[in-house]
Amino acid sequence: MALKLSMTCALYDRSQPLVDGRIKPQDIDLDIHVNSDDRSRQRDAREGKFDIAEFFSGIYLADLEHRTLGLTAIPIFVKRMFRHSYIYVNKHAAIRSPKDLEGKRIGIQTWFTTTALWARGILADEYGVDLSATTWVANWAEKIGAWQPPSWLNSRSLRKARSFMIC
């Protein structure tokens, strides 16, 4: 008898064969729900609506100490993309190198998206950017369990924070 599991993910070229049935997991009856809205997909995963969900790594990492999400991560990375292509610079902002981002505003979807996490790491580790010397502007704020932002973080959000603490 096949194991019945439900899954939510966005539709990418890497997930398409699973979604359209060209690839079938062995001994698993997989019910896939395609959802391109990151926010609702994250919410559905947190609320336990699916057995398997594509999820921001940063949210999971922020909650590890507190374990309020009740999730277990496995290292499957759906979006295997060259993330340098996700950094855009205003050509009128006099930015010629990553160090020039210090003192500027950097827009991100949310502090916890995997892409933002990766970009911050590259900027700090590879280019010496002082992350505390920038203002991080998130499309939306999130509260993750008891996680508190580091004291050096200068951030603001365009939209009000929503709490996703799961008790």
CB within 8 A of 84, min separation 6: which ones?
122
Q: For residues 6-15, give the mean pLDDT.
A: 90
Q: Answer yes or no: are the C-beta atoms of 51 and 80 closer than 8 Å.
A: no
Token pair 């991080």 is at which residue? 136
Phi-psi region of 133 (alpha: psi -120 to 50; beta: other; left: phi over 0): alpha
DSSP 130: -
Q: What is the pLDDT of residues 19-41, one digit of tens each?
A: 999 999 999 999 999 999 888 88
Cα gap 134→154, rounded to integer Å: 7
pTM: 0.68
Lowest mean pLDDT among 13-22, 70-79, 118-127: 70-79
Entry field: residues in the chain = 167
Task: Indicate the helix (H) or strand (E) that contains 138.
Answer: strand 135-138
| HSE-CB for 161 with a 13 A CA cutoff | 15
Give the model's confidence band at 43: pLDDT under 50 very low, under 70 low, under 90 confident, else very high.
confident
